[in-house]
Amino acid sequence: MTTIADPKAPRPPKPRPARLTTRGNTELYGWVFMRASGVVLLVLIFGHLFVNLVAGEGVTAIDFGFVAGKWASPFWQVWDLLMLWLAMIHGTNGVRTIINDYAERDGVRLALKSALYLAFVLVVVLGTLVIFTFDPCPSGSPADLLPSFCTA
Amino acid sequence: MPDALPASATRKVPAGTLYRGREGMWSWVAHRVTGVAIFFFLLVHVLDTSLVRISPEAYNDVIATYKNPIMGLGEAGLVAAIVFHAYNGIRIILVDFWSKGPKYQRVMLWVVMGLFVVTMAGFLPRHLMHVFGGE
Ligand code: HEM
Ligand code: HEM
């Protein structure tokens, strides 16, 4: 019969892992962030989908003038900016976890994560610039494509 | 002492845990699949929105394709993915932080499915009406 050691018995010292997988509490902060951002994203994305797909004429109403009308208000600018950043950080962190789970070869993992981080930077920078440099009344465009306040 | 272990602790086959097998596992798979799908959609979505910086014509031309019936069904699928991921995400948070969460995780999955059906029942008719031009 095998005997199980008394739990209070001193344990043999564990060999230290050659490489620590994380330094400090980064994974814990990531775990908390996934949950906190999830709650905020639920409100932001449901609001986004309601205004763009359900209210009024739904998708059929979306065009340049629709976007210009929304981004004329700092409220929707901030809304979209928060949604962009939170969704991209949440999604990138989630996909990073999945790459860690399935890509076992070091080279493959490095390649996939590099592509992931590159996509993150490009999309966040592009999306942020688009919100802040948006011009609702570009000169030389036909007036019927522009929001009504351009001619007023 | 060791010979006094209860039968359950010596059982060879592990009983279902929160994650292995059963509902806890397929809801986890579905959470992963929807999360990745939404992520790739978002990459494309920021690119298509950025066309507003090129010209109103460029943006309108691309967005026009979002209004055809096939894309309309794609949008319905995307919304379904988000609604599931969001509600199940809240369930995961409750399992982690609410003291009774682990006990009710199974019940909460049914609540998630129920809320999912109700939300989609509210959304789909209206969206399909917009896409297929009823009203
Ligand atoms: C089929 C459903 C969707 C439609 C029709 C749609 C439509 C739009 C439109 C018209 C805009 C321009 C600005 C605005 O209206 O606020 C926009 C921007 C944006 N949407 Fe969506 N959206 C959809 C789903 C989503 C989802 C699921 C997410 C999040 C995962 C999302 C995230 C964003 C972000 C971050 C921006 C700002 C982009 C930027 O910074 O350039 N959208 N969307
Ligand atoms: C709508 C509100 C959302 C809520 C409430 C939510 C909630 C969550 C939660 C709680 C997790 C679990 C994290 C963990 O197990 O440690 C998670 C994972 C994940 N989420 Fe979200 N999320 C939301 C939106 C999004 C969006 C917009 C994206 C994509 C851009 C996304 C992509 C992911 C991915 C890829 C994972 C990783 C899945 C895994 O590791 O199995 N989520 N989400």
Is the pLDDT score of B15 beyond 60? Answer: no
Least confident span in A5-9, A71-75, B75-79, B90-94: A5-9
Interface test with A, best of B45, B48, B49, B75 (most A CBs within 10 A): B49
Q: Distance, CA B111 to ligand 2 centroid (Å)?
A: 19
> What is the SS3 assignment for A92?
helix
Cα pseudo-dihedral A59, B50, B48, A144, rounded to 10 = 50
Give the number of other Cβ atoms within 10 Å of residue A52's Cβ: 17
Q: What is the spatial distance between Cα B116 and Cα B114, in angstroms, rounded to a whole number?
A: 5
Q: Which residue has the higher pLDDT, A16 or A150?
A: A150
Which is nearest to A79 in space by CA: A117, A52, A116?
A52
pLDDT at res. A69: 87
Q: Distance, CA B49 to ligand 1 centroid (Å)?
A: 7
Q: What is the spatial distance between Cα A92 and Cα A57, in angstroms, rounded to a whole number?
A: 33
Amino acid letter, residue B134:
G
Q: Give tens-digit pLDDT for A95-104.
A: 999 999 998 8
| Cβ contact A119–B43 (<8 Å) | yes
pLDDT at res. B33: 95
Evaluate whether B127 touches B78 at the Cβ level (below 8 Å).
no
Evaluate whether A113 touches A53 at the Cβ level (below 8 Å).
no
Contacts of A91 in chain B (CB under 8 A): 35, 38-39, 42
Interface test with B, best of A4, A42, A51, A92 (most B CBs within 10 A): A42
Decide: B31 in ligand 2 pocket, CB within 6 A: yes
Q: What is the spatial distance between Cα A92 and Cα A113, in angstroms, rounded to a whole number?
A: 9
Mean pLDDT of chain A: 86
pLDDT bracket for residue B89 (50, 70, 90): very high
Burial class of residue A71, CB neighbours in 10 A (0-12, 13-18, 19+): buried
Fold exhibited by the domain B22-132: 3 helical TM bundles of succinate and fumarate reductases (1.20.1300)
pLDDT at res. B4: 53
Percent of chain B past pLDDT 90, that is, above it, reads: 41
Ligand nearest to the CA of B75: 1
B65 close to A (CB below 8 A) = no
pLDDT at res. B1: 43
Domain ranges of chain B: 22-132
Q: What is the spatial distance between Cα B64 and Cα B74, in angstroms, rounded to a whole number?
A: 14
DSSP letter (8 states) at residue B54? T
Q: Quick one: tokens of A58?
A: 């739904």
Average pLDDT on B17-30 reads 70
Amino acid letter, residue B19:
Y
Decide: B33 in ligand 2 pocket, CB within 6 A: no
**B residues 20-59 closer than 8 Å to A (CB):** 32, 35-36, 38-39, 42-43, 46-47, 49-50, 52-53, 55-57, 59
Q: What is the ipTM of this complex?
A: 0.80
Q: For domain A64-150, give the CATH number.
A: 1.20.1300
Is the pLDDT score of B91 beyond 70? Answer: yes
CA-to-CA dists, residue A12 to A5, A8, A15, A19, A83, angstroms: 12, 12, 9, 20, 50
Which is nearest to A66 in space by CA: A46, A51, A78?
A51
| Cβ contact A95–B93 (<8 Å) | no
DSSP letter (8 states) at residue A22? -
pLDDT bracket for residue B128 (50, 70, 90): confident
Is the pLDDT score of B79 beyond 70? Answer: yes
Q: Quick one: tokens of A76?
A: 């929707």
Closest chain B residue by Cα to residue A118: B43
pLDDT at res. A90: 96
Q: Give tens-digit pLDDT for A33-42.
A: 999 999 999 9
Average pLDDT on B47-69 reads 89
pLDDT at res. A147: 80
pLDDT at res. B25: 75
pLDDT at res. B65: 85
| Cβ contact A59–B60 (<8 Å) | no
